[in-house]
Structure 1
């Protein structure tokens, strides 16, 4: 079982807490973060499949026993994957809205409060992936970054199958996709990631749906430089991997620590050359902010200087936008997410990376989610989208992402006032 990216956030919690204690005058300062003269900045690449676009992180890592997936497990649903998820055997913190899936699987949770059975989707079903990519098409999500953890273990055949399913869905719905390698726990990463690209994943670049930037196939590597034990790599092998992908003709994105520029907190020291070797920088944000004031502070103290550093080194900047942890009651019915769109458009970011599309394990998903208590299992304690008293449609965060993308692209005037209504 791959480790959750949640494990990467602990080292930055102290910094986040300090941000929460800053005064109102400092928090307001984010509104005056440096703005750039052009929409995508002087150092930016031309608009392509990631620059000037909305990219969503796509896990595609849910499976159910009986769905035919090689892993034959309640993958990423249960702590014990051999048993169906239940209140005492679960990895879920949010509950998906399942009405549009043609096939779902019965869990060991009690019935929903509405009386309906508590069932879940499988990412292995092509109709599930097609449904997700249709939602992307309907809501302005241009590109999907398919997460690919170490494919040389037990998950490998299922990961391989998911790549084909994503390709099919992207082609059918006019979306782009690219491979996003996550090196968490991948001890033989330096050699195996090259083997995997050469022998398997490179073939997907022949698809018209495979994302290109500056005429080059896009690859992302997530996890270099993080200061936790799950990614213990030294700078030299990491730089070798980045330069190898560039030698293969790829446009390489770095999914890097929040504090990559300073080499502190969640970032190891000594990785500056690795970070600056990437074509695009995309710092991690999950677990870093939980309210609008913190979003403003990050815009001023991290995102603005990050953008300036990228400009100085000819690197594109793709900050991460989070809807907020639903179970942690951080979303403020869309205000947290919109504030990030507003702030990051103001500094001239080259694109947005939405984290994530289907991350029901950390509560940061934008995919359709249970609207009310009637739509979650009885007694589960799982919050629905109306947890703060504001009624939200199941697709609200998809629609919010659409409007944030329109603002990025200049199709909607930059405004601090969220134009998206929680319910239409």
Structure 2
């Protein structure tokens, strides 16, 4: 990350995984490694609690976990130079709010989490559906979703897999409208950008490269679209996601042969997308003269 100019990472913690000690120990080991590396290489980390699969009542697991991690890593301490702060407050992401896929938690559980984190002095990023603002399609048709969003500080709609290179334009316009809403309501906005998509690594009958990467052109179209629309921060999904074929980390074009076949980078260098991620950061900061996709 330091080599390629990537600022930091959100460390996902699934509530369903930390409900048992084995899962919690695993996540804690990963987090501990990340904390040590962030300090060593001067990168930033931020906790992201994913509520997917959570049962009503398990919001208390998240609350207890946050308290434990704050005690161990001093996350809210001003002496912690490698945890993400937003407007002077430690940032916590709460992902999975307002999706209409019949989740077993809802408004009351999420409100309890947000109220707790605010009482802890945190800034809050909420991970919401693509169509959160209109309360349609993948979002619940419940105006209380907008009430929750207004209690947060950063709006983070999930866009992965929603479009390809040919169907991006309506979503670019949606990002523009999202940003207008956020500015009108005093919220920051962090859109999701992804390099491509494929379920092939999880489901053998799914097509490989279902949403083609096109050598990075698909990703760069999103970079330009989001930044030109007024986005001031970008979330790249995902650093290491092989299951959905969205990984940015180094990936060989000649994987070993076995029961599983892995997505490749279509002949591009193994570090191509890490490099492009760093170039996206430069474009976001206004350091590139041209909006065209950079060439090495």
Q: How far 1:264 moved relative to its partner?
A: 1.2
Cα distance change, pair 200–299 in 1 and its aligned pair in 2 (3 A): same
Which deviates more, 348-357 or 205-214?
A: 205-214
Aligned to 1:384: 264
What secondary structure sits across from 2:288 in the alignment? coil
Q: How far 1:200 moved relative to its partner?
A: 2.5
Cα distance change, pair 328–402 in 1 and its aligned pair in 2 (3 A): same
Residues 322-381 of structure 1: per-residue CA shift (max 9 Å, x gap) = 01125325111101100000001111112000000000111100000112xx33426855
Asked if 1:328 is matched to 2:209, the reply is: yes
Match runs of 1:5-404 below 5 Å:
136-150=1-15, 151-153=18-20, 154-187=22-55, 188-201=57-70, 203-204=72-73, 205=75, 206=77, 207-229=80-102, 231-270=103-142, 271-291=145-165, 293-300=166-173, 302-325=174-197, 327-329=208-210, 330-371=212-253, 374-377=254-257, 381-386=261-266, 391-404=267-280
Rg (Cα) greater in structure? 1
What secondary structure sits across from 1:342 in the alignment? helix
Aligned residues: 276
Moved over 6 A (4+): none
Does structure 2 retain, via aligned residues, the 8 Å contact 1:325–1:363?
A: yes
Q: Distance in 2 between matches of 1:381 and 1:358?
A: 16
Q: Distance in 2 between matches of 1:189 and 1:269?
A: 24
Does structure 2 retain, via aligned residues, the 8 Å contact 1:345–1:414?
A: no
Q: How far 1:141 moved relative to its partner?
A: 1.1
Residues 33-88 of structure 1: per-residue CA shift (max 9 Å, x gap) = xxxxxxxxxxxxxxxxxxxxxxxxxxxxxxxxxxxxxxxxxxxxxxxxxxxxxxxx
Does structure 1 retain, via aligned residues, the 8 Å contact 2:54–2:104?
A: no
Q: Distance in 2 between matches of 1:282 and 1:262?
A: 15
Q: Distance in 1 between matches of 2:136 and 2:72?
A: 38
Cα distance change, pair 146–264 in 1 and its aligned pair in 2 (3 A): same
What secondary structure sits across from 2:2 in the alignment? helix
Cα distance change, pair 368–168 in 1 and its aligned pair in 2 (3 A): same
- Report the TM-score when normalising by structure 1: 0.62
Q: Distance in 2 between matches of 1:312 and 1:362?
A: 34
Residues 215-259 of structure 1: per-residue CA shift (max 9 Å, x gap) = 111100001111113x33221321231122112111110111111
Aligned to 1:84: none
Q: Distance in 2 between matches of 1:174 and 1:316?
A: 25
Q: How far 1:190 moved relative to its partner?
A: 2.3
Question: Which protein, 1 or 2, shows the higher relative CO under an 8 Å CA cutoff with sep ≥ 6?
Answer: 1
- Report the TM-score when normalising by structure 2: 0.88
Does structure 2 retain, via aligned residues, the 8 Å contact 1:179–1:201?
A: no
Question: Over the residues paired in the alignment, what is the CA RMSD in angstroms?
Answer: 1.7
Cα distance change, pair 203–215 in 1 and its aligned pair in 2 (3 A): farther
Residues 81-115 of structure 1: per-residue CA shift (max 9 Å, x gap) = xxxxxxxxxxxxxxxxxxxxxxxxxxxxxxxxxxx
Gaps (5+ residues) in structure 2?
199-207
Q: How far 1:184 moved relative to its partner?
A: 1.1
Does structure 2 retain, via aligned residues, the 8 Å contact 1:254–1:281?
A: yes
Q: Distance in 1 between matches of 2:71 and 2:130?
A: 29
Gaps (5+ residues) in structure 1?
1-135
Cα distance change, pair 160–394 in 1 and its aligned pair in 2 (3 A): same
